Amino acid sequence: MKAFLQRDRLLPLLEALSRHIEVIAPAATQAGPVFATWQGQALDLKTKTLSPPTEFLLPHKEVLFHYVQEEGRYTFEEEQIHPRLLFAIRPCDLHAIALLDKIFGEQPPDQAYFRRRRAIALVVQNCIAPGRECFCASFAAGPEAKDPCDIEFTDIGEGFLCETETPAGILILNAGANLLQSVQSVHLQEKARLLQKAREAMPQDRSCAQIKNAMQRADWEALGQECLACGGCTFVCPVCHCFNILDLGVPDGERLRCRDSCLLSGFSRLAGGANPRRTPGERLHHWYQDKFEDIPEITGLPGCVGCGRCILTCPAAIDRVNLMVKSHREAR
């Protein structure tokens, strides 16, 4: 199913959808777009969010279940998951979700993750204006959506080209059927032109092979001296999924899953105080090994989608692709 939506009809479509389902969309703020529950606020569809939408599948803190003790026996109650629509996520983030599906789908599958995953519909916005930090094309993660989603839409200037093949996507578009128009061949031609232009605008020297070669040459000790060990790159990465588990309350309480980072010293610290990854350089090396060696072994795909968020958020003078300490001029 293909349809054309004029630009001034986008908000009425979201209003129609929000009557039936919680709509999560990139809301405009002074600090940039942030994915949040849409309640009529202005949207920013031009800029990629710094925080990835995968946090709605793997929250920074989530209750896995509540537990209650009665006469020496425990009963458990899971959190109620409500349906959501993730609107205007980027193709790189869609690819990250496909990766997380593979990672958490390993036996035994992570039931808490898939409860959220099954309750979310995905509407992907093709990327026609990639940022300077973007290199998703080198990882087959953009600028056009290539992974399964419910609706793929493209900003073609005067409006949006909407395409879907899933039952959920058809239902979503049917909610605003009176707002849609028929697709013309010129719409499809404009989409192809804009996406080709976006592909050509991306750098061609940030491939997976280049990063793996850089890993072989890297001076991890020197990189560790520059790394601030803040963990920022891991918390904005849509693929990173480290977490820890803790129980709050005795005898009744709740089990929590909280996001963590392998770049933080406490993540690998053992009970006796020893730490197999003691220095920032060792932890940074481990992070790259996980993305470009361990995750590919599990999923068949690199653990990077080329979104460039690690480049945007890193406060240190580290070239995140070539794994070198930047010059003072580059660092500025």
pLDDT in tens, 235-266: 999 999 999 999 999 999 999 999 999 999 99
What pLDDT is stored for residue 204 in this prediction?
Answer: 81
Mean pLDDT computed over 255-278: 93
Query: Is the pLDDT score of 329 beyond 50?
Result: no
Mean pLDDT of the chain: 94
DSSP string, 161-188: EEE--SHHHHHHHHTTGGGEE---HHHH
Give the confidence band of 146 by pLDDT, cuts at 50, 70, 90: very high
Written as six digits, the tokens of 129 are 């204006």
The secondary element (H helix, E strand) that includes residue 76 is strand 73-78
Helices (H), the chain: 10-18, 91-104, 111-118, 167-174, 185-201, 208-217, 220-226, 232-236, 280-289, 295-299, 309-313, 328-331
* Chain center to CA of 141: 11
What pLDDT is stored for residue 328 in this prediction?
Answer: 47
Instruction: State the Cα–Cα distance between residues 231 and 261, nearest whole angstrom.
Output: 6
113: β partners: none
Give the confidence band of 301 by pLDDT, cuts at 50, 70, 90: very high
Measured CA distances, 270 to 52, 240, 277, 289, 305 (Å): 30, 21, 10, 21, 31
pTM of the model: 0.94
